[in-house]
Amino acid sequence: MTIQAVISVLEAVAPPHLQESYDNAGLIVGDASEALTGVLFCLDSTEAIVEEAIALGCNLIVAHHPIVFRGLKRFNGSNYVERTVMKAIRSHVAIYAVHTNLDNVHQNGVNSRIAEKIGLLDTRILAPKPGAGSDVGAGLLGHLSQPMEEAAFLRHVKVQMQTACVRHTALRGRPVQTVAICGGAGSVLLPEALRAGADAFVTADFKYHEFFDAENRLVIADIGHFESEQFTIELLCDILREKFSTFALHLTKKNTNPVYYL
């Protein structure tokens, strides 16, 4: 089996044309025609991840975030991006990223896994991608089976999403049942969450002044970028395990979150 066989399965779920214009999903390092020895799944490609792949005998890393977002003009190891790419090339380890194209699909997408963890039902795309149909776009909107008091909902999210910290807006003293979600940086979707009548919006990377934009109409729950997307690693592995149940598939044991909490 070749690396291309894995890529074909991933791209059947998250076609490359669904990625955003700024993105760089796809095969970043390596030769798709090479025979596959094993796959390591991670959120971020780093030097430590490449070393882990080598130790496991894997010649393919499947990451959520692309290691290269913009052109590299030099390869002299001056930053972690260059060092990671150089190490991967030297070690014959391919790196494939499935990023906003996986964010933008409803079934088997990043947000569907978050919805599953939180317990949301009857989900739909929050912001459909123009011309792509109702099942393609950013974020999801869903409902809890039963309303929850706001503080209880935030505690529930904290536990289910395994986050050390939840930054949130003021509680409004109203129940939460309709919930908007967006893995990663989702502040741009706040207007969509408000229009949809969400009681809470679970996402990450809100800036200070953006919290004011909730206008007391919903509760923003910022759970952290890594934390919101960490289960994407399991999702990617599950997608491939359906097709390659006996092949060497490994979840990284490295925590690549660059943010620490005191």
Cα–Cα distance measured from residue 26 to residue 173, given in angstroms and rounded to the nearest whole number: 45
Domain ranges of the chain: 3-101, 104-228
- State residue 132's pLDDT score: 86
- Smallest CA-to-CA distance from 13 within 246, 258, 232, 252 is with 232
Bridge pairing between strands 137-148 and 176-185: antiparallel
**Count of Cβ atoms closer than 10 Å to residue 212 Cβ:** 10
CA 247, CA 244: separation in Å to the nearest integer?
5
Query: Which element (helix H / strand E) includes 82?
Result: helix 80-90
Q: Compute the distance between CA of residue 38 and CA of residue 20 in angstroms, rounded to an integer.
A: 29
The CATH code that applies to domain 3-101 is: 3.40.1390.30
Whole-number Å distance between alpha carbons of 84 and 69: 13
pLDDT in tens, 17-27: 999 999 999 99
What pLDDT, in 10s, does the model give residues 118-166? 999 999 999 999 988 889 999 999 999 999 999 999 999 999 999 999 9
Q: Do domains 3-101 and 104-228 have the same CATH topology?
A: yes
pLDDT digits (tens, 9 = 90+) for 37-68: 999 999 999 999 999 999 999 999 999 999 99
CATH number for the region 104-228 comes to 3.40.1390.30
> What contacts 71, CB < 8 A, 6 or more positions away?
none
Give pLDDT tens digits for 157-195.
Answer: 999 999 999 999 999 999 999 999 999 999 999 999 999
